A and B are shown apart, each in its own frame.
Chain A
Amino acid sequence: MIFSISLNAEELFDFQDLQTETRYYQLIDEIRCPKCTSGSLASSNAPVSEDLKKKIFELLEDGYTDQDIRNYVVERFGKDSVYQPKFSENIFLWLAPLVFIIFLLSIFHFVRR
């Protein structure tokens, strides 16, 4: 019985070609499950994740690009729903380590003098 549950855990889709299938698995790996604290769509079998995976499959079949699909998800579930944050909206976050290193180096520089 345990075996049958794990078999049903993921819905299987008939992809038109291998390339689409690869894109699908990349996408569900980089899009977050909307219902989870953290965890990708690929790792989740929450009802909404199953629906979203099905939707992504349909959008791929309809010829949407990867970016179109990311936009579809972000428009509905918020910008937190993709793992790759946008550079423009998070400049501080991206540059903070660099600023910190420069700050430390300059302290060393002056202390040595």
Chain B
Amino acid sequence: MFILLLDKEAGDPVNLDRTRSAIPEFNLDSLNRDFPVTSQFFSELEKDTIVVMNVWASWCISCAIEHPFLMELESAVNLIGLNYKDDRDDAKNWLLAKGDPYEFSIHDPNGTFALDLGVSGAPETFLIVNNEVVLHYVGIVNQDIWMNYFDPMVQEIFDKK
């Protein structure tokens, strides 16, 4: 209890220190190798466009648990993937087998972009607006977590529009 009193952030799955930080520079490929993805992708988005970026990998067991919810979410938001420290073919096969909820995935085989974002594993999910991280959630996102953490922020951005 003493610890809770001292540090309200202790044990919170939201990485608060990252909130409101700009997207770092990066230069990577899409998972299907059909186009390069750079930091320009985020900086050139239309104002107030909400992007949900989900960090995933084929080796990540929790990602398989999270996956069905992302399939539901797909139609409601702009969902992109950040394929983290994964083999390209393994990742593609994983999406073929389970279904692909992402508009596209960024392939980050060495986790360099992810490291710059403060990613410590998978799954993690970012809410990105106007080239800024608005929310960095560490762990599986499900319906409850979406409603508690993400939805209020999405509503706030919609209201501002």
> A interface vs B, CB < 8 Å?
34-35, 46-48, 51-52, 55, 74-79, 92-93
Contact = CB atoms under 8 A, between A and B. Distances in A.
Given A34-B120, A35-B120, A76-B18, A51 B115 contact: yes
9 contacts: A48-B121, A51-B110, A75-B21, A77-B118, A77-B120, A78-B9, A78-B17, A78-B118, A79-B17
A33 B21 CA distance: 21
B151 interface: no
Given A35-B121, A47-B85, A48-B120, A75 B17 contact: yes
Contacts, number: 43
Interface of A is mostly: helix
User: Which 8 interchain pairs have the tightest Cβ spacing?
Assistant: A76-B118, A34-B120, A78-B17, A48-B120, A35-B120, A51-B115, A51-B111, A77-B118
Nearest to B118: A76
Contact of A78 (B6, B16, B111): B16
A35 B116 CA distance: 15
Contacts of A34: 118, 120
Given A47-B85, A48-B111, A76-B18, 11 more contacts: A48-B115, A48-B120, A48-B121, A75-B18, A75-B118, A76-B117, A76-B118, A77-B17, A77-B120, A78-B15, A78-B118
